[in-house]
A and B are shown apart, each in its own frame.
Chain A
Amino acid sequence: MRQSQSHQNDYACLADKLDALLVRLGCGNLRQGSLQRLTGGANKETWALEAVGSAGAVPLIMRRLSADALPSERTIEPDCEARLIRRAGECDVPTPRVCHILEPGDGLGAGFLSARIEGETLARRILRNPEFSKIRSKLSFQCGTILARIHAIPVATLPQLKKQFARSELDELYQSYRSFGGGSPVFEAAFRWLRDRAPDEARMPRLVHGDFRNGNLIVGPEGVRAVLDWELAHLGDPAEDLGWITVNSWRFGMIDEPVGGFGSVEQMLEGYRFEGGEDIDVDRVLYWRTLGSLRWGLICRAMACPAQAGVRITVERAMIGRRISETELDLLDILAPESAQ
């Protein structure tokens, strides 16, 4: 009882602060009852809200670090993410407009306010619902064009980002794999295969979104409306983004359509070149798909571990730990396909 009371107080306090912020920004007031928590990410909170002013009701999103967020080496700070989203928007990447980067005086923690864009993010609906049937065959090409725009943003105009190439990524992943006790011959074979073929790091690093896939794309019946979740952005090999979206885990059962379950790699690369992207061959995409499956497998494993000893994890996260075997099969299908035996 006491806890639910304190939850209510937290909510009221949050609503008051947001209302005051909206007034300061000249956006009107917080519409009563509109503030709603959307997702319970481990480190980030996403809230939906509405501002009511002279222009009517404006749907907004607040994304901020949870109060108990653990420092992460991989993810960028929310203010950096917000500046990156703005920069990408200026370069014709579909993104939600960032209205305000939270400041210490706002009393809301670290995060930002952005426009809320209507549309679908759930892959199962995008892949199966009739309103998307016309756009589905064009999505792969469109993803190629969007990625070409992201990768073309001049690096000098970006906020400070970490460089991450295949070798350093593999070293980090191997460390994480050993920290879970190792013991997977399939992962060992994948590490070996990926190290033997690690691409040249001499090529110029590009802005890599880092998590461009189903779930982070808002899609409408006419196509992609926004690219979300830029917190894994870094500088690296642009082929990483092209490979990540083809990982089997994002196909949601549509195994024969490598790009997000909706299209072919050739369509995506065609869109990529059409928008001025460099000539990337299928093998480079396959390399990053392999690294992507391995990475996803280790993320799944990490999900089943509480951030601190003694903290209870949800049954959903516990079950995600058993998805590691899915990635082992995906890796084998690439490294040692049955048809080649």
Chain B
Amino acid sequence: MKHPPATELLASVAHFLRDDLLPSLSGGRAFNLRVSINAIDLVRREIEQQAAADKRERRRLAKLLGRNDELEVMREELCEQIASGKIALDHPELREHLRATTMDRLAIDQPSYSAYLAAVAPSGAADATKKDAAEE
């Protein structure tokens, strides 16, 4: 028997706060509750998506750097290579990597941000992300 997932718990909590508690508050407390609900939703998305996003980031980094290591170590190495000019933005795979990593972060942090929606909607990139995720 599988444990009920933490993400479902968080979804219930957010649901209760939004539908039952929020209408009874006003002013600063309503504002802070709304922000709190957004925070719970963010944490839920992180639990759902972070591991797969990290896996994809690691795979791209290993290809870019030509070696495999811990995610943070490779990320730091990429930072150093960019800072020293060893790799630059005219490198198509670097551009692709930065964009994919940033889009994965936005999908967790702020999926309603204008620039994210603009990047996702017209090009059908949302479907591509889903496909990428399904490949995991």
Contacts and interface: CB of A to CB of B under 8 A. Distances in A.
A326 B106 contact: yes
A192 B123 contact: no
Interface stretch (A6-14, A111-119, A182-190): A182-190
Chain A interface mostly helix, strand, loop or mixed?
A: helix
B62 to A, nearest CB: 15
- The bracket for how many chain A residues form the interface is 20 to 34
14 contacts: A182-B76, A186-B98, A188-B83, A189-B98, A315-B36, A315-B39, A319-B35, A319-B38, A324-B109, A326-B115, A326-B116, A328-B105, A329-B102, A330-B115
Interface in B53-102: 72, 75-76, 78-79, 82-83, 85, 88-89, 92, 95-99, 101-102
Contacts of A314: 32
A336 B96 CA distance: 9
Interface string A304-333: 000000000011101100111110111011
A189 B89 contact: yes
B99 A332 contact: yes
A184 B98 CA distance: 10
A83 B73 CA distance: 51
Contact of A333 (B42, B109, B115, B123): B115
Interface of A: 182-186, 188-189, 191-193, 248, 251, 253-255, 314-316, 318-319, 322-326, 328-330, 332-333, 335-336, 338, 341
A326 B106 CA distance: 7
B: interface residue count bin: 35 or more
B115 A336 contact: no
Contacts of A319: 35, 38-39, 42
Contacts of A318: 39
Interface centre among A182, A255, A315 (most CB of B within 10 A): A315
A218 B103 CA distance: 35
B18 to A, nearest CB: 15
B26 interface: no
B110 A325 contact: yes
Given A183-B75, A192-B82, A251 B114 contact: yes
Contacts of B101: 185-186
Contacts of A315: 32, 35-36, 39
A323 B112 CA distance: 11
Given A332-B102, A341-B96, 7 more contacts: A182-B76, A188-B82, A255-B114, A323-B110, A325-B102, A329-B103, A341-B92
A183 B61 CA distance: 13
A156 B117 CA distance: 47
B2 to A, nearest CB: 30
Contacts of B35: 315-316, 319
Contacts of A191: 83
A183 B106 contact: no
A193 B76 CA distance: 18
A314 B31 CA distance: 11
B11 interface: no
Contacts of B123: 338
B127 to A, nearest CB: 15
A316 B31 CA distance: 9
B82 A336 contact: no
Given A184-B79, A191-B83, A251-B114, A336 B119 contact: no
